[in-house]
Structure 1
Amino acid sequence: MTADPVILARTQAHVLTLTLNRPDKLNAANDELLLTLTRELQAADANPDVRVVVLTGAGRGFCAGQDLGDVSGRDMTFTEHLHHTYNPLIRTIRGLGKPVISAVNGVAAGAGASLALAGDIRLWAASASLIEVFSNIALIPDSGSTWTLPRLVGYHRAFELMALAERVRAEDALRLGLCEHVFADDTFAADVQAYAERLAQRPAHALKLTKQALVAALTSGLDEALDQEAALQQLAGDHWEHEEGVSAFKAKRAPQFIREG
């Protein structure tokens, strides 16, 4: 018998949905899942038919973090493991030239919380939750959480969530800025698809440059950000999307930012 794939991939209306597929373990991550997901994202970046990527989980969990059984007894340091698996994945998400939606359908714990926070847009189901569980086993948050979480909620709240391993439920996640929207459980998949298709209709090249500018600005000063904006604005202005946007504005019609074929 062939084992079920650890990542399910489906493309509809220019939206690629990548589903973590270890539902019996709440999609806890092993090396195969992490490396396969990274490869799928890299392939999506090179695929012109894909305009938006959605990351979600099968079953009732988004990702329960590292599968500890997968690393138990392994002759590999923590540092080596992170450099081999999680760090390339997070760098791929943040550097992807397309919007990445984290569709958090259930619990996101540990490194799964880091993955949930790494998306450009975070959509949560009403029953979803997030927990920085690392301190419960006397480890520090990794896979980008120490970079992402304080930028969302501030240093002090981030430290409290990490130190006490407090579970954040959907209504509080929305209030804290850990997600942009919360959808009902029974319509979650359809709501996420509709949102992603709406995003896919936007100007892909301009959004790629917008993401590039935002990521750079997170670690730059004002002068650098202004220079980066000026350079990227030229690239945007020289692209056919800009011409289409201006033409549509003048004609008082909706712009068509997708060219098939």
Structure 2
Amino acid sequence: MKKIFLTTLLSASVVSFALAEKLVVAATPVPHAEILEHIAPELKAAGYELEVKVFNDYVTPNLATDDGSVDANYFQHEPYLVEFNAKNGTKLKTTVGVHLEPMGIYSKKITDLKDLKDGAKVAVPNDPTNESRALDVLADAGLIEVNKDVELRTALDVTKNPKNIQILELEGPNLPRTLDDVDIAVINSNFAFNADLNPVKDSLFIEKAVGNPYTNIVVVKEGNENIPKIKALDSALQSESVKKFIEEKYKGAIVPSF
């Protein structure tokens, strides 16, 4: 009887393993691949064997998703996806948002934005996407108003500037080093974190995570948004377990967007 039971149990395990469906997701190394590896056990329990394919560029993952080499990818935000689809004729769609690498306003001269003086010097990144994003952060903080009809805004698109702030466009990686010379700087979280600045604890203002267009997203080929394995992936990535993992591991350098 013991032999029969063990044989039956082994056969059931083999069948269960054989029934596990492969789920292949393209990602960049940090934090995307790390977050995916965190949810692998949960997906396995749901019947999906997760394979993470790591890429170090922002083109191949989208092309692989479009041609079906992978089921999904996780590395980009919506503005990049829209531009990629337009340039490459791909039909890729967002399913869910997972995390934000937040932009914040930092200063060594003031501790509250209400104390910002008239004519203050304000440093922002000088590349088109991040300058536009930084101006939106300044607008959300109530310091300026911008022309929302312009897709990629520059200092020329500031429509109201009650404090007459001077906007200085500088290289993003150099912004933390400008804090001794400017009144405030709007800095991406990766550059802030490298300078021992925690976006959650050290910024005077941080961009919102929920509903932020720069949230990092899961992307699939159009038409695959509702297939079961993608739904399982989306659910696992928006779980309380992932939220806790992000908060504890990255300590504010990235924040959950759900």
Q: TM-score by structure 1 length?
A: 0.25
Higher strand share: 2
Higher relative contact order (Cα pairs below 8 Å, separated by 6+ residues)? 2
Task: Point out the structure with max Rg over C-alpha.
Answer: 2
Q: TM-score by structure 2 length?
A: 0.25
Higher helix share: 1
